[in-house]
Amino acid sequence: MAISYTGMQQLLANSVVELAFIRRNEKAGWPSNRRMLCTNSVSLLSSLAGRMALNFRVPTQPPPYNAKDKNLFITWDIFMQNYRALPLESVIVVNAIPVSNEKEIDLFWEYFDKALRPMSSNDKTQFMKK
């Protein structure tokens, strides 16, 4: 499903999103595609739990380029705990977990505690390689 830059920004601001995408740069030993859980939800990321469990940190400076001009969007990668710039044209939205209000955020943290927190490094790698 094609999604606009604005649509992706809105989705990321209000959801934790599972994406599949084609890598811009090949990585030895890894497939050419990757999956990711990511979000730009300020409420989720800047919460105490977001800063502790997701290791979120506010960017100290803007990227040295205009991401939109390069058809890239920047988001917080939950497993790698860092910012990623992804090419909009190669992204497929697999799933979205809404986190636009306190109740939805609480439900996400329940899911995180049951399904994501127990994942080993190998489990996370396998998820990313699917």
From residue 35, alpha-carbon distances to 20, 90, 91, 102 in Å are 4, 12, 10, 27
List pLDDT tens digits, range 13-40: 999 999 999 877 777 877 878 899 999 9
The confidence band for 1, taking pLDDT boundaries of 50, 70 and 90, is low
Six-digit token string for 46:
């800047």
Residue 82 has pLDDT above 70, yes or no: yes
Apex 74 CA angle, 27 and 127, nearest 5: 45
- CA dihedral sign of residues 29, 1, 76, 79: negative
List pLDDT tens digits, range 32-81: 788 999 999 999 999 999 999 999 999 888 888 898 899 899 999 999 99
Residues making up the chain, counted from first to last: 130
DSSP 1-68: ----HHHHHHHHHHEEEEEEEE-SS--TTS-SEEEEEEE--HHHHTSHHHHHHS-----SS--SS-TG
For the chain, the domains span 5-129
Contact 13, 75 (CB under 8 A): no
